[in-house]
Chain A
Amino acid sequence: MTDEPVEHHPEDQPALTPLGIPREETPDPDVIAVGPEMAVAEADVRWPEGGEVIKGRSLWRDAWRRLLKNKLAVFGLVVVIVITIAAITGPWLIHKTLGFTPDYIPSNDVRLIKSFPPFTGPDGKFSWTHPMGTDNAGRDQFARVLQGGQISLFVGIISTLVSLLIGISYGAIAGYIGGRLDNLMMRIVDVLYSLPYVILVIVLLSMFRSQTPRGQLVLLFVALGSVSWLTMARIVRGQVLSLKNQEFVLAARATGVSTTRIIFRHLVPNTLGPVIVYATLTIPQVMLTEAFLSFLGFGVQAPLASWGSLAADGAQNIAIYPWQLIFPGVTMALTLFSLNFLGDGLRDALDPQMRTE
């Protein structure tokens, strides 16, 4: 701890996600400097006398090893992979083996159009056909939850990519150019930070409500992506600030590389460590916001379904058909839980300060 007075700045506040939840463990741009060492990655070192090859320890391989030691992170990684694969292939597999699609309503038999408990057939006896039961229209919940997972994961990933695209460009430009422009750009970020995002997103989504479910989905990407790039911009800017005075940038400038190229080919790749960590933590936040919006009826529209809209349908029938809420809800919680642990694990793995070996 230093004795110097510390300039307190709004930027010191914990980063906020759209729901007002702080990201208490946001990678500190100054601490995690996954610097240009990455440039020498994967270099095999030849021992002079013996001739045996000693594998160079790259930063990435080190990080990967540390990640594997973190049980919770590995658990998270495995669950995320399993759920993703299940969501992508599941509905198709169910269609192949059992013959129904997620939105198949058994309209040829009125007795089937009702909500069965898990593992129960229409006759009330045990059956493997609907492991998560059915919804009010007799649609298979398991297939619906898997298909909802597709949408939820898709929204999470695409919106995070949008936020990456905006955040990286914005942060890198502000950091590299510096001066007045930097000041102006970061003040804008400060102002945007203090706005009630979710509220504005709700206004946007309800006013521009699209007639088609697909249109609404695109609107959702735009809305979620455009509010979640702020922290990313700050992280990238911090990284670029610490990198831009290093020799490799000077060398690039001396050899006449254009500014755009320096920013996007030399600086941005070197900020990847913190960016990956933060992106992993953004996905669950965006998914949560999407679910929140869909729950309120502003997000994904029928016939498309996400975990949020499935939970919203289920919440209305909680008294009689609790499984309609519990299965999508628990699946979603498990996914978010795993993604959060994976993100935390990645941060620990990529943070050189934690390196103990």
Chain B
Amino acid sequence: MLRFIIKRLLVTIPTILVVITITWGLIRLAPGNFYSGEKRLPPAIEKNIREKYGLDKPWYQQYGRTMWNILRHQDFGTSLNFRGQSVNVIIRRSLPVSAGVGILAYLLALLIGIPVGSIAALKQNSRWDYSSMAVTMLGISIPNFVLGPILVMIFSLSLYWLPPSRWNGFFSSNIILPVVTLSAVYMAYIARLTRAGMLEVLRSDYIRTARAKGLSEKDVVIRHALRGGLMPVVSYTGPALAFLLTGTVVIEKIFALPGLGNYFIQASLNRDEPLVIGIVAFIAITLLLMNLLVDITYAYLDPRVRY
């Protein structure tokens, strides 16, 4: 197990370096520069800017310096657009918003998705099964940027129940609509994954054994079937959490939340190189660590899995 973790971490580090290099390369290969706008700058000013940001040095020196700062000091530099703010501070400030909304959305998705999927599997081919699977397919097919504004229209602009946007901390009603909007797709997927996993497990021998030895149906389902049936959901958790954490981009835009995604969009539009690299690297690290965590959980839950 320990060997497996070390092996995985050894793959993870080069992967992160590759991601950072790709991002750096994309930004540098693209025509233009962060300071080049509609009007050309006077040559003297351009020269000063290039000197200040080290753009006058050869590319390998610039690349080396960026990488060195990131690896040695975990320092992504200072944002070009948000003057004087370091990328690390921006990430630290915006992460709780994205992470909070993402985790709450995933918990909500689990809370509703698992029971819906389990009942659908237990009553396979029933009306409940068909209707819940059709609804989940609908949930998958409605893009969240359509669902979000529609929910705002209903609950904020017509019923006046909930505020339509803005961030007001975790303990305010502002958080309800973003969380519900974000969780819809994941809810639908978890319900479908649970159903598929449960259906497979319910046919297996150990469930027949459990029934044969006279366990109540409740015990069979809760203590035996769910444990095996939830494996697909577990392996989905890692990537889903990482994406939720970061992929709230659209939600943050719709609801004007000061999260990572919103900063990332602005940074990309403004060619804010340090901020883009910082956020991309952060997302990649989160994604890879989540996946590792899931694999460890997997081994813990499924005794047949050996590394």
Contact = CB atoms under 8 A, between A and B. Distances in A.
Interface of A: 1, 3-8, 10, 12-14, 16, 19-22, 24-25, 72, 191, 194-196, 198-200, 202-204, 206-208, 284, 288, 291-292, 295-298, 308, 311-312, 314-315, 318-319, 322, 325-326, 329-330, 332-334, 336-337, 340-341
A195 B285 CA distance: 9
A315 B254 contact: yes
B15 A194 contact: yes
Interface in B128-153: 134, 137-138, 140-143, 145-146, 148-150, 152-153
26 contacts: A6-B302, A20-B247, A22-B236, A24-B193, A72-B134, A191-B11, A194-B287, A194-B291, A198-B249, A199-B279, A202-B264, A207-B268, A292-B250, A295-B143, A296-B253, A297-B269, A308-B143, A315-B145, A315-B254, A318-B152, A325-B146, A325-B149, A333-B143, A336-B140, A337-B138, A340-B141
Q: Mostly helix, strand, loop or mixed at chain A's interface?
A: helix
Given A25-B196, A194-B287, A322-B153, A14 B145 contact: no
Given A1-B204, A6-B304, A14-B193, A203 B280 contact: yes
A51 to B, nearest CB: 43
Interface in B1-31: 11, 15, 18-19, 22-23, 26-27, 29-31
Q: Mostly helix, strand, loop or mixed at chain B's interface?
A: helix
Nearest to A330: B146
B197 to A, nearest CB: 9
A323 to B, nearest CB: 11
Interface stretch (B50-58, B61-69, B237-245): B237-245
A291 B163 CA distance: 26
Nearest to A319: B157
A298 B146 CA distance: 17
B22 A200 contact: yes
Q: Across chains A and B, which 8 residue pairs bring their CB atoms closest together, nearest first? A: A20-B243, A329-B146, A207-B30, A337-B141, A336-B141, A206-B268, A8-B305, A5-B306
Interface residues of B, number: 71
Interface in B158-203: 185, 189, 192-193, 196
B192 A24 contact: yes
B26 A315 contact: no
B283 interface: yes
A1, A3, A341 interface centre (most CB from chain B within 10 Å): A1
Nearest to A339: B141
Interface of B: 11, 15, 18-19, 22-23, 26-27, 29-31, 134, 137-138, 140-143, 145-146, 148-150, 152-153, 157, 185, 189, 192-193, 196, 204-206, 232, 235-236, 238-240, 242-244, 246-247, 249-250, 253-254, 264-265, 268-269, 271, 276, 279-280, 283-284, 287-288, 291, 294-295, 298-299, 302, 304-307
Given A191-B18, A308-B143, 5 more contacts: A4-B304, A72-B134, A194-B288, A196-B284, A333-B138
A199 B246 contact: yes
B146 A203 contact: no
Contacts of A7: 306
Given A202-B268, A203-B27, A315-B145, A329 B150 contact: yes
